[in-house]
Amino acid sequence: MAFIIETRGLAYSYENGEPALKGVTLGISGGKKTVILGPNGSGKSTLFLHMNGVLRPGKGTILFRGEPLRYDNKSLASLRQKVGLVFQNPDDQIFASTVEEDVAFGPINLGLPGADVEERVKAALDIVDMAGFRGRPTQQLSFGQRKRVALAGALAMDPEMLLMDEPTAGLDAQMVREILELTEELDYKGKTIVISTHDVDLAYEWADDVILMSEGSVLFSGTVDGLFEAEELLHKARLTRPILYSLNLQRHLRTGHPECPRPRTVPECCQAFFRKEITNEAGTFYIACLNNGNLDVGALQKFRKHNRGAYGSYAKRVSRELGLEIHHYFNSIEHGLIKTSMGEDYLLITEPSLAGLVKSKVEELDRRYSCKIKAMIIDDVRVSGRQ
Amino acid sequence: MPSFIIFLIGGVMAFSLAGVFIIALTQAGQPILGIAVAGATIGVTEEGLSLATLVFLRTFAGLFVMLFFAASTPIPHIFNSLKSVGLPDYIAEVTIMIYRYSFMMLEQSSQMLRAAGCRMGFSGWRNSMRTMGMLAANVFIRSLEFAERSQYAMQSRNFGGGFPVYRKPAGMTPAWGLISILALAGVYLVGNA
């Protein structure tokens, strides 16, 4: 397996002599969603600062694409262009007086020409849905908005890999979902995403790989299932099992149903838990691709009010701008899977580049639970009928 | 913000009014008004009055222009422009950073003040002094940590020394030059009419 970034025997102490990292050896695979799980003070942020070349290891080495990091200005500049870092506290990161100035900071430092900077600023602000706040003074923004601006600042560097330090800390529930969907979108578009968190439920649902850290050491590195099976490790790292994991375990113990495959989302739970109760034939999951914002509103009306959703930053923005009657602006894939498994049809509006992701999610559920949900991509939502 | 500027102008003008009053009373010349106080005469003279008016109007105009400039031009723009007339880079950068972070420290210290107040930190003179001392020490330590974290954040976005300005202020056009010359000529003509 090819690691995009790798550390070997990494050790680091802050000035007060307290060791923050004690021989960390780990690897992060390209194109996967990795969670670095650990309680507060376990060295997650310090590790991120090393991966971005901000801190130099006391001992050990870091390899990016197999090459050890070099610390001259030119190598660092090229590393930081490829590895973006979003800080936990947006106030540490944002320092320009207006939103666009802050997002443009990275691209200008890369020495890009003005038109490219503009393009990147626009794209980054669009994807975090802050395009309407371009000229706003940064101190007037809410915490959630500042968090998005901080993310846009990192995205504007167009990195291959994005390190996000506690991206969901301090956000309301909807913002957490939006950030997670955004990371999925970025992951599907080819970026490697690494999130540090102490939220086990988030890690369980979101991650492909997980690395467990505690007191500056790596306790576990591998798949999510592997981690939560090892309960003594969780105790050691002051973490608990995810709710869905525990529920599934109880189902296994009480009914004798096999424990695996473990459901990791609510639709999967529904399939695993209520198999007998689902008697209707499954509905069809329509995936409508937005092309240039052309949309026939009449097509929407064929679906019930609660059976329409939007997925992806572009589709959400266009639907809001057009004032479409969309019911689910977040968690729409989950809602759609639940609705269709109960025999209703669901319409999900998304952009062409994400249609494959949605389809694969539907097929994945179908493959694991053979629930017979049909996924259908409609190229354009221009269904006949209206002028 | 506008109300704050009016407040500032008002405050400074009140101060200048007091000075102007003294000027009006202390100039020798043709008396207009006189009050006898204990054998001496305090009077307003024609020369005094005109000098006082001049001083008052000049103070107001100068203050107005300066505050208008300060309120409408972002600090990074001012210092980036000063760089082009020879101000060393490092002075410009340090000033921009101090400006930016002083606001953050101000916000933090006001939060700490409030929090201290919630725990009876300001009950009585002794307590207040002790609280303020602790607060000052704490803000200082925090500012150091804050500076370190901010430096990390800037490094991670390839900070190379220097704060680039993304949206450049509008440049000087011939129209602006013309307007300035016309305005000056107008003032001159009105003044000599």
Q: What is the 3-state secondary structure (H, E, C) of chain A?
A: CCEEEEEEEEEEECCCCCEEEEEEEEEEECCCEEEEECCCCCCHHHHHHHHCCCCCCCEEEEEECCEECCCCHHHHHHHHHHEEEECCCHHHHCCCCEHHHHHHHHHHHCCCCHHHHHHHHHHHHHHCCCHHHCCCEHHHCCHHHHHHHHHHHHHCCCCCEEEEECCCCCCCHHHHHHHHHHHHHHHHCCCEEEEEECCHHHHHHHCCEEEEEECCEEEEEEEHHHHHHCHHHHHHCCCCCCHHHHHHHHHHHHHCCCCCCCCCCHHHHHHHHCCCCCCCCCCEEEEEECECCECCHHHHHCCCHHHEEECCHHHHHHHHHHCCCCCECCCHHHHHHHHHHCCCCEEEEECHHHHHHHHHHHHHHHHHHCCCCEEEEECCCCCCCCC
Chain A touched by B168 (CB under 8 Å): no
Q: What percent of chain B has pLDDT over 70?
A: 99
At residue A384, the pLDDT reads 39
The first and second tokens of residue A98, run together, are 């207006």
Range of lowest pLDDT (A364-373, B94-103, B161-170):
B161-170
* Nearest residue on chain A to B103, alpha-carbon basis: A139
At residue B2, the pLDDT reads 67
Tell me the C-alpha distance between B101 and A139, whole Å.
11
Tell me the C-alpha distance between A385 and A298, whole Å.
7
At residue A293, the pLDDT reads 59
What pTM did the predictor assign? 0.80
- Residues 118 through 157 of chain B touching chain A, CB cutoff 8 Å: 146, 149-150, 152-157
* Nearest residue on chain A to B107, alpha-carbon basis: A139
Tell me the C-alpha distance between A13 and A21, whole Å.
7
Between B166 and A270, the more confident residue is A270
* Nearest residue on chain B to A158, alpha-carbon basis: B157
Among candidates A49, A55, A80 on the partner chain, residue whose Cβ is nearest the Cβ of B157: A80
Mean pLDDT by 10 residues, chain A (387 residues): 88 88 93 91 92 92 92 89 92 85 89 90 91 86 91 92 92 89 90 93 92 93 90 90 93 89 88 80 85 68 83 86 84 89 87 87 86 78 41
Among candidates A89, A104, A139 on the partner chain, residue whose Cβ is nearest the Cβ of B103: A139
Beta strands in B80-170 (DSSP E): none
Residue with tokens 């990192």: A154
Chain A touched by B76 (CB under 8 Å): yes
Rg (CA), chain B: 26
**Per-range mean pLDDT, top range of A238-242, B99-103, B189-193:** A238-242
Range of lowest pLDDT (A216-230, B51-65, B158-172):
B158-172
| CB-based contact A101 B165, cutoff 8 Å | yes
| CB-based contact B167 A101, cutoff 8 Å | yes
What letter represents residue B107's amino acid? E
Chain A touched by B103 (CB under 8 Å): yes
Chain B touched by A164 (CB under 8 Å): no
| First CA to last CA distance, chain B | 38
* Nearest residue on chain B to A118, alpha-carbon basis: B166
Chain B touched by A90 (CB under 8 Å): no
Tell me the C-alpha distance between A209 and A222, whole Å.
6
In chain B, what residues touch A95 (CB-CB under 8 Å)?
97, 100-101, 150, 153-154
Chain B touched by A88 (CB under 8 Å): no
Identify the three-state secondary structure at position B91: helix
Q: Bridge partners of A2?
A: none
Chain A touched by B178 (CB under 8 Å): no
- The angle, 0 to 180 degrees and rounded to 10, between the axes of the packed helices A332-341 and A352-369 is 40
Among candidates B103, B156, B166 on the partner chain, residue whose Cβ is nearest the Cβ of A54: B156
| CB-based contact A95 B153, cutoff 8 Å | yes
Among candidates B74, B75, B150 on the partner chain, residue whose Cβ is nearest the Cβ of A95: B150
Chain A touched by B39 (CB under 8 Å): no
Q: Bridge partners of A35?
A: A195, A210
In chain B, what residues touch A85 (CB-CB under 8 Å)?
156
Q: Measured between alpha carbons, how far is residue A259 from residues A181, A225, B87 in Å?
A: 27, 11, 70
What average pLDDT score do residues B158-184 get? 83
| CB-based contact B157 A49, cutoff 8 Å | no
| CB-based contact A54 B100, cutoff 8 Å | no
Burial A192-201 (b: 16+ CB within 10 A, else e): bbbbbbbbbe
